[in-house]
């Protein structure tokens, strides 16, 4: 008969997990081990400074920035919270080499570690960028990038020369855009746009177009476009070569540089007369829109027709202008209405002034002694004629005396000491205030019980007993003074 034990006690193949005898290590949960790893990493790497290249920079809607720092051997995810990202003096972009300061932590939700960046600084220019900047400064000092060297582009060139690769999408985009806007004769000089020898070919093509005779079998272009698609700085380096920059700057034919995408900038762009953000934009800059020119011609024809009717329109405008300058009835009546308002205000002020002067005259009147003596004699006569009856004085006095006696009896009956003579007692607190509830009396440490013939000190049942002193009633309050 098989044993009911869910595993073989002597074997290693167990069906149910259980602790072996003497084993005191319980299994950890995933959250527990993740938290332990998080604490270990944060304690060990609480402050680190890392140098690397930014990659996959993404700014979330919350304002946080998520990115990755990488070098030739490893990649480390990073996050920059909203407040730190807002204080950055520059905008993080892919490919930028930086020095990031922060702390390492883990993200249990994806089982990975990352750096929480608290400060980020640009690490400096690489060797390639340093060389590019040195070349740019030297050529700029020679005046190759000066604004006064820039020449205006022809409005509608008859022939356009394009220096680019003949197999890429760049030439197709340029031809397609020229066909849509303004069909033009295009000459393509095929060159390498990347790798060894590309710079020499581009410079030779620019000088070759400039060397074409004006009346030769191959027409000389009125405008040149030097174009290439986007890429890294290494891919675009041919257009940073000094030989290309000098050929573009010395070209007698105006040049449009359309190297890379909008964010790519080369020394060829600085030397050209106009820089286009993309090859397609270069085609748009090179020629006008044929439909817009046709619309402009139609507009000029319409303006020509309008010129014929212009004298009549001018006469109507002059008549309307003179009619507008005629005053309206309201304008004519405004001065009279204003004068009427002014007169009404003056009348109101005049009436007020007249009344004020009347009051002043009345206040200045003085009574003569003769008038005062006459008034005095009249008053004496009225007083002599008036006879006082004693009952008129005695009756109100008696009524008030009775009311006062009634109030005194009522006060005697309502006096708080009155019930004491009938066997009642009054309970007082330490300050001599009467207490009306047992709860209040229980909280007092010492009580005074007032009888009709004196005061007795008492201690509540729940309060600690203290020796009490018997105080006498002060003559002022009639109540004992409790110390």
Q: In the listed set 74, 106, 124, which residue is the last one of a domain according to the structure? A: 124
456 DSSP β-pair partners = 449
Q: Within this chain, do residues 111 and 176 fall inside the same structural domain, yes or no?
A: no
Q: How far apart are CA 177 and CA 179, in angstroms?
A: 5
Q: Within this chain, do residues 266 and 178 fall inside the same structural domain, yes or no?
A: yes
Q: Is residue 424 part of a domain?
A: yes
Q: Is residue 91 part of a domain?
A: yes
Q: Is residue 296 part of a domain?
A: no
* pLDDT score, position 90: 57
* pLDDT score, position 468: 47
Q: Within this chain, do residues 162 and 89 fall inside the same structural domain, yes or no?
A: no
Q: Within this chain, do residues 105 and 164 fall inside the same structural domain, yes or no?
A: no
Q: Within this chain, do residues 189 and 256 fall inside the same structural domain, yes or no?
A: yes
Q: Within this chain, do residues 170 and 114 fall inside the same structural domain, yes or no?
A: no
* pLDDT score, position 366: 62
Q: How far apart are CA 470 and CA 476, in angstroms?
A: 18
pTM beyond cutoff 0.85? no
With beta carbons less than 8 A apart as the criterion, state whether 94 and 79 touch.
no
Give the tokens for residue 275: 């820089």
CATH, residue 77: 2.40.50.140
Q: How far apart are CA 130 and CA 467, in angstroms?
A: 99
* pLDDT score, position 388: 63
Q: What is the pLDDT along the chain (483 residues), one digit of tens a residue?
A: 444 444 444 455 566 666 666 566 677 788 888 788 888 877 888 888 988 888 888 999 999 999 999 988 899 999 999 988 887 755 677 777 788 999 888 888 777 888 899 998 767 556 467 567 878 888 999 999 999 989 999 998 999 999 999 888 899 999 999 988 888 899 999 999 887 788 899 999 999 999 999 888 899 999 999 999 888 777 887 898 889 999 999 999 999 999 988 888 889 999 999 999 999 999 999 998 888 888 888 888 888 888 888 888 888 888 888 888 887 878 778 888 888 888 999 999 899 898 888 888 777 666 667 777 888 888 888 877 776 667 777 888 888 889 888 888 888 877 777 787 777 888 888 888 888 888 888 888 888 888 878 888 888 875 455 554 544 444 444 444 433
Domain residues for the domain of 479 are 416-483
Q: Within this chain, do residues 75 and 189 fall inside the same structural domain, yes or no?
A: no
* pLDDT score, position 434: 83
Q: Within this chain, do residues 106 and 169 fall inside the same structural domain, yes or no?
A: no
* pLDDT score, position 333: 82
Q: How far apart are CA 463 and CA 431, in angstroms?
A: 17
> By three-state DSSP, how is residue 89 classified?
coil
Q: Within this chain, do residues 202 and 96 fall inside the same structural domain, yes or no?
A: no
Give the tokens for residue 259: 């190297």
- CA nearest 253: which of 218, 293, 207? 207
Q: Within this chain, do residues 475 and 430 fall inside the same structural domain, yes or no?
A: yes
Half-sphere exposure of 169 (CA within 13 A, CB side): 5
- CB neighbours (10 Å) of residue 479? 18
Q: Within this chain, do residues 284 and 216 fall inside the same structural domain, yes or no?
A: yes
Q: Is residue 358 part of a domain?
A: no
Q: In the listed set 276, 291, 306, which residue is the last one of a domain according to the structure? A: 291
372 DSSP β-pair partners = none
- CA nearest 290: which of 193, 156, 461? 156
189 phi/psi in degrees, rounded to 5: -105, 105
Q: Is residue 20 part of a domain?
A: no
Q: How far apart are CA 165 and CA 188, in angstroms?
A: 9
Q: Within this chain, do residues 194 and 100 fall inside the same structural domain, yes or no?
A: no
- CA nearest 272: which of 134, 130, 128, 153? 153
Q: Is residue 351 part of a domain?
A: no
Structurally, how many domains does the chain consist of?
A: 3
Q: Which residues of 447-460 are buried (b: 16+ CB within 10 A; e: fewer)?
A: bbebeeeebebbee
CATH, residue 178: 3.40.50.261
């Amino acid at each position: 008969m098989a044993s009911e034990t869910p595993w073989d006690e002597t074997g290693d193949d167990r069906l149910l997990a259980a602790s072996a005898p003497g084993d005191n290590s319980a299994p950890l949960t995933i959250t527990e081990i993740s938290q332990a790893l998080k604490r270990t990493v944060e304690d060990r790497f609480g402050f680190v400074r890392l140098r690397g290249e930014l990659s996959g920079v993404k700014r979330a809607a919350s304002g946080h920035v998520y990115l990755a720092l990488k070098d030739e051997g490893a990649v480390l995810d990073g996050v920059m919270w909203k407040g730190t990202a807002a204080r950055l003096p520059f905008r993080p972009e892919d490919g930028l080499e930086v020095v990031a300061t922060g702390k390492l932590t883990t993200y249990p939700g994806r089982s990975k570690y990352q750096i929480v960046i608290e400060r980020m600084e640009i690490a400096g220019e690489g060797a390639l960028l340093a060389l590019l900047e040195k070349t740019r400064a030297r050529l700029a000092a020679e005046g190759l990038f000066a604004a006064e060297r820039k020449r205006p582009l022809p409005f509608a060139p008859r022939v356009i020369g394009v220096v680019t690769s003949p197999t890429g999408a760049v030439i197709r985009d340029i031809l397609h855009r020229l066909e849509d806007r303004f069909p033009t004769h295009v000459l393509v000089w095929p060159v390498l746009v990347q790798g060894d020898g590309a710079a020499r070919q581009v410079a030779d093509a620019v000088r070759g177009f400039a060397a074409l005779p004006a009346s030769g079998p191959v027409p000389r272009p009125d405008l040149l476009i030097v174009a290439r698609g986007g890429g890294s700085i290494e891919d675009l380096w041919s257009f940073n070569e000094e030989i290309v920059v000098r050929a573009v700057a010395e070209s007698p034919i105006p040049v449009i540089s359309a190297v890379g995408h909008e964010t790519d900038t080369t020394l060829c762009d600085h030397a050209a007369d106009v820089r286009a953000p993309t090859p397609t934009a270069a085609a748009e800059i090179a020629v006008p829109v044929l439909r817009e020119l046709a619309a402009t011609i139609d507009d000029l024809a319409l303006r020509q027709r309008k010129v014929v009717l212009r004298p009549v329109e001018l006469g109507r405008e002059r008549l309307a202008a003179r009619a507008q300058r005629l005053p309206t009835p309201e304008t004519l009546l405004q001065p009279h209405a204003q004068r009427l308002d002014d007169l009404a205000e003056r009348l109101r002020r005049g009436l007020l002034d007249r009344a004020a002067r009347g009051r002043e005259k009345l206040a200045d009147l003085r009574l003569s002694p003769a008038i005062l003596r006459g008034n005095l004699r009249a008053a004496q006569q009225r007083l002599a004629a008036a006879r006082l009856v004693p009952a008129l004085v005695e009756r109100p006095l008696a009524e008030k005396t009775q009311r006062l006696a009634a109030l005194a009896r009522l006060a005697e009956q309502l006096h708080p000491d009155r019930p004491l003579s009938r066997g009642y007692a009054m309970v007082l607190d330490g300050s001599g205030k009467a207490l009306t509830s047992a709860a209040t009396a229980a909280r007092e440490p010492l009580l005074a019980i007032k009888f009709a013939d004196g005061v007795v000190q008492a201690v509540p049942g729940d309060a600690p007993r203290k020796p009490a002193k018997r105080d006498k009633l002060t003559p002022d309050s009639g109540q004992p003074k409790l110390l």
